[in-house]
C-alpha cells in the first residue's frame, strides 16, 4: 500500500464549494511536465468530497485560446473527475492568462455551467510563465464577482503577476515552485487553505443572508 496516499489531507468540512481550475497548457510546459500537472490535479481533486450536491470541480485549459475541458456540473462523482484529469489532453500554444481569466468568469462561474448561488467560489490558476497579456483587470473582475483566487506558478512564473492575480493575503494564496517535479510538495498546504477558505466564505455568505 502506498503510504503517501493514505496520509493525504482530506477536506472534511461541511461547507461545499464551486472550484474552477485554470490550467496553462502552453508549449513551454512540455508533455513530460504536463503529466506532472495531471498528477498534481489528481491529488488536488482527491482532497475534496465531490458530488453534484457537494463540492463541484470544473476545469478549463488555456494557451492562446481558452477552452472548457469540463463544466462544474459535467461530472457528479469524484471518480469521474479523476478520470477526466487522467485523460486531460495537452493543448499547446501561447500564454494568454488575462484572456483565460475573463473566459472562466464568462463561461464557468455561471448558473448554466453549474455554478450555484450562495456557494463559495474558488478559482485555482496553474501557470509556468509570464502572461503575454494584461492579467490585472480580469483578475479584479473575478475577485469582485466573489471568486477567491489562488495562483500557482511553476518554473518561470512571474511572482508579481501571481500576486496581482491572487486574492489577499498573498502568503496563503500565491505558490511559486521552482520545478514541476516538486509541485506535489505544495498540494497539502494548498488543499488545507482552500478547505479553510471555503468554510470562511460559507460563513460570510450565510451571515450576509441573515442581515438582508
Q: Provide the whole-model pTM.
A: 0.94
| 87-127: pLDDT as tens digits | 999 999 999 999 999 999 999 999 999 999 999 999 999 99
What dotted CATH number matches 3-211?
3.40.50.410
Q: What percent of the chain has pLDDT over 70?
A: 97
Query: Which three-class secondary structure string do you get for the chain?
Result: CCHHHHHCCCCCCCCCCEEEEEEECCCCCCHHHHHHHHHHHHHHHHCCCEECCCEEEEEEEECCCCEEEECCCCCCEHHHHHHHHHCCCCCCCCCCHHHHHHHHHHHCCCHHHCCCCCCCEEEEEEECCCCCCCCHHHHHHHHHCCEEEEEEEECCCCHHHHHHHCCCCHHHHEEEECCHHHCHHHHHHHHHHHHHHHHHHHHHHHHHHHHC
| 37-83: pLDDT as tens digits | 999 999 999 999 999 999 999 999 999 999 999 999 999 999 999 99
Domain map of the chain by residue range? 3-211
Amino acid at each position: 500500500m502506498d503510504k503517501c496516499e493514505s496520509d493525504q489531507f482530506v477536506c472534511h468540512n461541511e461547507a461545499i464549494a464551486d472550484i474552477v481550475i485554470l490550467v496553462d497548457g502552453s508549449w513551454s510546459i512540455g508533455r513530460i511536465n504536463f503529466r506532472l500537472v495531471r498528477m498534481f490535479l489528481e491529488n488536488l481533486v482527491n482532497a475534496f468530497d465531490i458530488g453534484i450536491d457537494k463540492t463541484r470541480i470544473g476545469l478549463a485549459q488555456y494557451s492562446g485560446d481558452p477552452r472548457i475541458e469540463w463544466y462544474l456540473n459535467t461530472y457528479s462523482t469524484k471518480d469521474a473527475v479523476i478520470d477526466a484529469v487522467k485523460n486531460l489532453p495537452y493543448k499547446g500554444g501561447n500564454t494568454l492568462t488575462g484572456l483565460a481569466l475573463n473566459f472562466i468568469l464568462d463561461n464557468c462561474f455561471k448558473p448554466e455551467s453549474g455554478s450555484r448561488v450562495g456557494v463559495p467560489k474558488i478559482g485555482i490558476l496553474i501557470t509556468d510563465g509570464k502572461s503575454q497579456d494584461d492579467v490585472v483587470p480580469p483578475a479584479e473582475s473575478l475577485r469582485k464577482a466573489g471568486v477567491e483566487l489562488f495562483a500557482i506558478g511553476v518554473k518561470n512564473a512571474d511572482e508579481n503577476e501571481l500576486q496581482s492575480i491572487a486574492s489577499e493575503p498573498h502568503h496563503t494564496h500565491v505558490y511559486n515552485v521552482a520545478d514541476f517535479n516538486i509541485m506535489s510538495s505544495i498540494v497539502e498546504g494548498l488543499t488545507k487553505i482552500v478547505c479553510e477558505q471555503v468554510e470562511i466564505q460559507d460563513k460570510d455568505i450565510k451571515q450576509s443572508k441573515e442581515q438582508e
